[in-house]
A and B are shown apart, each in its own frame.
Chain A
Amino acid sequence: MLNYTIRRLLFAIPVLLFISFIIFLILDLAPSDPTGNLPLTIPPEVREKIRQSLGLGEPMYWRYLMWCKQFFINEPLNIWDQWMGTCSFNCEDRLRVVSYVTRSPVVDLIVERLPQTLWVVGMSYVVGILIAIPIGVISAYRQYSWFDQAGTFVSMVGFSVPPFFSGVLVIVIFSVQLGWFPSIYDTTLKVVDWDTFVLQLKQMVLPVMVLALQTTAQISRFMRASMLDNLNMDYVRTARAKGMKERTVLLVHVLRNSLIPVVTVIALGVPSVFGGAIITEQVFKVNGIGQLLIIGIQGGDAPLVQTLTFIFAVLIVLANLIADILYGILDPRIRYD
């Protein structure tokens, strides 16, 4: 397993380099202009100068190599220096990946945004999974019961109602009509005591609810199908013939087998958590990663978009690897060595 993991990690390096180049190519082909959002009174010569100063006059391959150097060498060195409080390889002149628009290092922007996204989107993913798995198990065990029918209905709603609708709907119901929860996520809130913790929880409820509905819908369906596949297997009959309790049959024998494909799906979904939920973040004014990406795209901010997209690519590659490893751990029939 270790050998396999190392081999896969090494293989991921050329894959990711290739992906980063493709992203760069596509961004370069896009007709966006980093000066496009500047006031119209700025004359074209000045705009051209701004572009030159951003390095856009250099040839494409040179700009790509510079990004590579900044991202793969300078940024890790910078993190190292920050941790150790040192200054290695003349840290003063070291160029970092800098946003065209805000002129601040992209990595700092991401680090600033990440907690909100993880709190809201990550929490909704966890909540969704925790709700979905029991629903899937019970729905399958009591197939066509009223519980199963209700689960099917909720899943259908979760699948088909987009978050820009369900988000606005829960705002209208729970913040406007009932006034239970705030409609806007306040990023400046610092959790210092019990009261602020409650406030933080309250402002998380609505976005988490909207996002968890989607996750629950998908994973509970998956779980149900997988359980149903396994419930009719011969080994279930064997377990019953051994006199095992129904609980043991269901929660030991069937569940373990049914989780194998579901865990893979869950692992593959993790990158989307880091990617943020672009629309839901907009609806609830959560200034997370998704919103950052939108701002970057609108402002023609190539370094920001390039870096963010590349980080997503890394996460997707890693999630695939983790899914494969989990598969091997859960299913003894699969061995990679």
Chain B
Amino acid sequence: MPDGAPKVLDVRNLNTVFRTRTGEVHAVNRVSFDLEKGELLGVVGESGSGKSVTMMSLIRLIPSPPAEIRSGQVLFDGMDLLEVDDDTLRDIRGARIGFVFQDPMTSLNPVFTVGFQLREPLMRHMGMNRREADRRAAELLELVGIPDAARRLRDYPHQFSGGMRQRVMIAIALACDPEVLIADEPTTALDVTIQAQILELVRELRQKLGMAIIWITHDLGVIAGIADRVMVMYGGQVVEEAPVRALFKEPRHPYTRALLETIPHVRGKRAERLEVIEGQPPILGAAPTACPFRDRCAAAVEICGRENPALREVGARHRVACHLSDTGAGSGAAPEPEGAHV
């Protein structure tokens, strides 16, 4: 992507907190990032790193209570999505920002036909009548590669396979030509061949429709295959952000490097055992005052326990949040994940 393309989404200093019986959990801390027109931003991180909560916070789709968006700004088309009233937000959801969820088996309403669920956003946002919406729904199903689309509109979700249902979900998200598509682990629940098909489909649709995509995953192989830029999250904050080549070539954050090392190799000598990152990700009871990764970090020094590092520019559009990022901790080439997954 050329540098300086117009931004469609600009997130600044987002903080989301869950209030639970045992106290607060700070799920998203000081997250800032932007999304350029037509760009595919990959978001990686292990379970509980705050990827999904961040993206759901953008359009206030997290259940509240218990969740609470403490502060931040989400700038979209001159509006702050965290400030606008509910009606305006509903006009944006599904129309200008589409969402695809992780589990296609449960994300569609079981008692309504696929056609009904596809027509809904069309009639709501595009002001179509039923017949127009029907025609457009059939086009959309064809677009996502479901054969015999007009007839399939009358089928219920349980009559579709998992991969087909995810295609339907994508068709729903694309229904009103959104400027931004947020895909929350859309291929995690699918088996590998279906996953490859969905990835191919998204790549194709992106060329055809030119929208910006945020792709949440914990599969680095997928990221390597489709992303323009990657954002690595840990403990509810962004620890590294870089163009995809730069990230895989020279990862600067110890967590990113550790992540890349966990990818098993297909070629070469067979590993005795799989690489792992020892320990558990933290559950943050308060806003972090130290580096959240320090307990699992091999290179941790005294300052890591004292101060939470801020994101710093270390290269062309390459930002890292690590105290050691300029002391040569970025040496040592990480393995290329090509062919590792998918």
- A interface list, Cβ under 8 A from B: 232-235, 237-246, 248, 253, 256-257, 260, 330-333
How many chain B residues touch A (CB < 8 A): the figure is: 32
Question: How far apart sit A232 and B111, CA to CA, in the bound complex (Å)?
Answer: 16
Q: Which of B120-128, B136-144, B250-258, B305-313 contacts A (4 or more CB under 8 A)?
A: B120-128
Partner of A244, one of B61, B90, B98, B103: B90
Assess A235 versus B93: contact at CB under 8 Å? Given A241-B59, A242-B120, A243-B121.
no
Once the chains bind, are B110 and A333 in contact (CB under 8 Å)?
A: yes
Tell whether, in the assembled complex, residue B120 and residue A333 are in contact, meaning their CB atoms are under 8 Å apart: no
Complex contact A240–B107 (CB within 8 A) = no
Measured between C-beta atoms, what is the minimum distance from B297 to chain A in Å? 35
B95 at interface, CB cutoff 8 A: yes
Chain A residues within an 8 Å CB radius of B107: 234-235, 237-238
Contacts of B112 in A (CB 8 A): 253, 256
Interface residue from A232, A237, A253 paired with B61 (Cβ < 8 Å): A237
Q: Is the CB of A332 within 8 A of B99?
A: no
Considering the chains assembled together, what is the distance between the CA atoms of A245 and B125 in angstroms? 11
Q: Which of B63, B111, B113, B125 contacts A256 (CB 8 A)?
A: B111
Enumerate 15 A-B pairs (CB-CB under 8 Å) in ascending A order: A233-B106, A234-B106, A235-B110, A238-B108, A241-B99, A241-B101, A242-B120, A243-B92, A243-B121, A244-B121, A248-B120, A253-B109, A256-B111, A332-B111, A332-B156
Q: Is the CB of B90 within 8 A of A245?
A: yes
Residues of the B chain whose Cβ atoms lie less than 8 Å from the Cβ of A248: 120
Cβ A239 vs Cβ B111 within 8 A = no
CB distance from A268 to the nearest CB of B (A): 21
Q: A235-B106, A256-B112, A332-B111 are in contact. Are A242 and B121 (CB under 8 A)?
A: yes
Cα distance A332–B117 when bound, in Å? 15
| Contact A243-B90, Cβ < 8 Å, known A234-B103, A235-B109 | yes
Using Cβ atoms and an 8 Å threshold, which residues of chain A touch B30? none
A242 CB contact (under 8 Å) in B93, B110, B156? B93
**In B37-75, which residues have CB < 8 Å from any A CB?**
59, 61, 63
Asked if residues A243 and B95 are in contact (CB atoms below 8 Å), the reply is yes
Smallest Cβ distance from B144 to chain A, in angstroms? 16
Separation of A240 and B169 alpha carbons in the complex (Å): 13
Complex CA distance for A245 and B93, rounded to whole angstroms: 11
B91, B92, B156, B172: which contacts A238 (Cβ < 8 A)? B172
A325 to chain B, nearest CB (A): 16
Q: Which residue of A lies closest to B116 (CB)?
A: A252
The chain A residue sitting closest to B156, CB to CB, is A332
Rounded to whole angstroms, the CA-CA distance of A244 and B99 in the bound complex is 13
How many Å from the CB of A307 to the closest CB on chain B? 41
**Which of B59, B108, B121, B173 meets A235, CB within 8 Å?**
B108
Instruction: Type the 1/0 row for B232-270, where 1 means its CB is closer than 8 Å to any CB of A.
Output: 000000000000000000000000000000000000000
Beyond A241-B99, A243-B95, A245-B124, list 8 extra A-B contacts (CB 8 Å). A232-B63, A234-B101, A235-B110, A240-B61, A242-B124, A243-B124, A256-B112, A332-B156
The answer, yes or no, to whether B115 is at the interface (CB within 8 Å) is: no
What is the minimal beta-carbon distance from B172 to any residue of chain A, in angstroms? Answer: 6
B158 touches A (CB below 8 Å): yes
B93 near A241 with CB under 8 A, answer yes
A332 touches B101 (CB 8 A): no
Closest chain A residue to B99, Cβ basis: A241
* Ranked 3 nearest A-B pairs via Cβ: A243-B94, A242-B94, A243-B93
Which residue among A238, A239, A243, A332 has the maximum number of chain B CB atoms within 10 Å of its CB? A243
**CB neighbours of B101 from chain A (8 A):** 234, 237-238, 241
Out of A244, A246, A257, A331, name the residue touching B120 (CB < 8 Å): A244
- Tell me, in angstroms, the Cα distance from A238 to B121 when the chains sit together: 11
Residues of A near B103 (CB, < 8 A) are 234
CA distance A332 to B155 in the complex (A): 9
User: Which residues does chain A contribute within 8 Å of B172, judged by CB atoms?
Assistant: 238, 242
Give CA–CA (A248, B112) in the complex, Å. Answer: 13
Q: Cβ of B117: which chain A residues have Cβ within 8 Å of it?
A: 238
Q: Distance (Å) between the CB of A236 and the closest chain B CB?
A: 8
Least Cβ distance of A90 to chain B in Å? 56
List, in ascending order, chain B residues with CB within 8 A of A240's CB. Answer: 61, 93
Does B109 lie within 8 Å of A257, measured CB to CB? yes
Contact residues in A for B173 (Cβ distance below 8 Å): 241
Contacts of A235 in B (CB 8 A): 106-110
Contact of B124 among A238, A244, A330 (CB under 8 A): A244
Q: Is the CB of A333 within 8 A of B109?
A: no
In the assembled complex, the CB of A62 is this many whole angstroms from the nearest CB of chain B, namely 54
Instruction: Kindly list chain B residues whose C-beta atoms are within 8 Å of the C-beta of A239.
Output: 109, 120
Inter-chain contacts of B98 with A (CB < 8 A)? 241
Q: How far is the CA of A233 from the CA of B157 in the complex (A)?
A: 15
Residues of A within 8 Å of B94, CB to CB, are 241-244
Please indicate the chain B residues that have their CB under 8 angstroms from the CB of A245 in the complex: 90, 124
B95 cross-chain contacts in A, Cβ below 8 A: 243
Closest to A239 in B: B109
Q: How far is the CB of B188 from chain A (nearest CB, A)?
A: 13
Interface centre among A234, A246, A256, A333 (most CB of B within 10 A): A234
B169 contacts A238, CB within 8 Å?
yes
Across-interface contacts of B124 in A (CB, < 8 A): 242-245
- Return chain A residues, CB-CB under 8 Å to B169: 238
A278, chain B: closest CB distance, angstroms: 38
Chain B proximity of A114: nearest CB distance (Å): 36
Measured between beta carbons, the chain B residues less than 8 angstroms from A253 are: 109, 112
How far does the alpha carbon of A244 sit from the alpha carbon of B120 in the complex, in Å? 8
Is the Cβ of B109 less than 8 Å from the Cβ of A238?
A: yes
- With A256-B111, A256-B112 known as contacts, the answer to whether A241 contacts B106 (CB < 8 A) is no
Contact A257 B111 (CB under 8 A): yes
**Please, which residue of chain A has its CB at the minimum distance from the CB of B104?**
A234
A232 contact set on B, CB distance < 8 A: 63
* Nearest residue, chain B, Cβ from A232: B63
Instruction: Assess the A257–B110 pair: CB atoms within 8 A.
Output: yes
A241 to B101, CA, bound (A): 10
Q: How far is the CA of A240 from the CA of B112 in the complex (A)?
A: 16
* Bound CA–CA A253/B117 (angstroms): 10
